Structure 1
Amino acid sequence: MGGVVLLPDMGKAEWQAIENVQAYPVTGKTGAELYASIGERGPKAGIGRAIAFTNFKLTWTRKYEPQGNACVLTVARPKLIITYRLPKPAERLPAPVQKSWDTFISGVRQHERVHGDLIKDMVKKIEAVSVGLTAADDPQCRKIRVDLTARLGELSRAQRQQSRDFDRAELSNGGNVHQLVLALVNGQ
């Protein structure tokens, strides 16, 4: 009877995500002008532009080993690069605007770090279902790849949904990012 069995903690390696910040320039001398510039220059997201954006590149080193008539995934090492794209004023700001900006960008950074944490959590879940994955009746290690791909698709979809749900809450009226924008635009 063919099936898939998970074996605990085989071939896991300690890893750390590489995290980069890329700034894009915004202009203005007031919070409202800076926010308008974000709207013109921010990273494209969906049908419009975003204040900031978190993206990632994930690659894996995997080792599949035939064992008898089965195949076991013995090594799955991720290489994860997360890139946060954030606005940065192109010029020195007046002191009160700088203070508002500092509060704003700190909150935006925190928001984007949550997206990064969701991505890291997904990679840990992928690692957990990958290492030790076994497929019976698979000496050529083909069935195991199909099964793994299906599992990874589920985890990826779940991460994207978590990210969308988080944004929906943060960007809604009264949400954290909404409050940060209002404070910046109103000079608070």
Structure 2
Amino acid sequence: MARPMKPAILLAALLLSTPALADWKPIEKIDTYAVSGESAEQLYLSIGEKGPLIGTGGNARRVIAHTFFKLTWQRDYQPQEGGACVLKSARPKLLITYTLPKPAGKLAPGLQVRWDTFASGLIAHEKVHGAGIVDMVDKIVAFSTGLTAHNDPGCKKVRAELTAYLDQLSKAQRQDSRDFDTKEFGRDGNMLKLIAAFLGAPPKN
């Protein structure tokens, strides 16, 4: 997810890696929101006005781009003779949606070149977030498959152990995502340089 937009900063993007487990693949989707302007500065201001809102209520804020995912599962819990329970398989269905800005009208040739470079950097950044999500799901699949608990005829112990692991992994993924954004938008960060290049100004230290 792109960091909250500030007067002189905005953006986000990422690069999705091949899943570690070959029997499933994520679905990727790109949504766009329209921005307008006849200069880089005007386009940037339009992003600030129309970028996706994240959070609710007083915590809502606009960002340049956003990565959202929806994850559902098909799990096969199998009670065993003797009262054990085995999670035989866990197949994920993962939809990753990237929300990115797109000019509403045709841009002048020179501005189009600058926009294309800017847009490429945004999606590259967002897809790093996407790759982190895929990695998290791969780890869940690996942990889930074959998970066994003894004296668990109702499979409650297996479910509880899986839930605890999912909570731990989800928190780690969110922290990694925040750390990545902090680095990318920090001093000498790639996103800060990308914005500065788009606006035609040196990055602020």
Q: TM-score scaled by structure 2?
A: 0.83
Aligned pairs for 1:5-84 (under 5 A) are 14-46=23-55, 47-68=60-81, 69-84=83-98
Aligned pairs for 1:39-188 (under 5 A) are 39-46=48-55, 47-68=60-81, 69-186=83-200
The answer (yes or no) to whether the contact 1:59–1:78 under 8 Å persists in 2 is yes
Unaligned runs of 5+ in 2: 1-20
Q: In structure 2, how many angstroms separate the alpha carbons of the residues matched to 1:179 and 1:92?
A: 25
Unaligned runs of 5+ in 1: 1-11
- Report how many aligned residue pairs link the two structures: 177
- The amino acid that maps onto 1:23 is T
Q: For residues 175 and 55 of structure 1, do their structure 2 counterparts lie closer, same or farther at Cα, with a shift above 3 Å needed?
A: same
Q: In structure 1, how many angstroms separate the alpha carbons of the residues matched to 2:44 and 2:176?
A: 26
| Per-residue deviation, residues 131-166 of structure 1 (Å, max 9, x unmatched) | 100011101111111111000111111111111001
| SS class of match (1:29) | coil
Q: TM-score scaled by structure 1?
A: 0.90
Q: In structure 2, how many angstroms separate the alpha carbons of the residues matched to 1:150 and 1:97?
A: 50
The answer (yes or no) to whether the contact 1:70–1:138 under 8 Å persists in 2 is yes
Q: CA deviation at 1:187?
A: 7.2
- Identity, % of aligned pairs? 54
| SS class of match (1:79) | strand
Higher RCO, Cα 8 Å, sep 6+:
1
Q: For residues 173 and 45 of structure 1, do their structure 2 counterparts lie closer, same or farther at Cα, with a shift above 3 Å needed?
A: farther
Q: In structure 1, how many angstroms separate the alpha carbons of the residues matched to 2:173 and 2:156?
A: 26
- The amino acid that maps onto 2:46 is S
Q: In structure 1, how many angstroms separate the alpha carbons of the residues matched to 2:89 and 2:190?
A: 40
- The amino acid that maps onto 2:38 is K
The answer (yes or no) to whether the contact 1:13–1:77 under 8 Å persists in 2 is no
- The amino acid that maps onto 1:92 is K
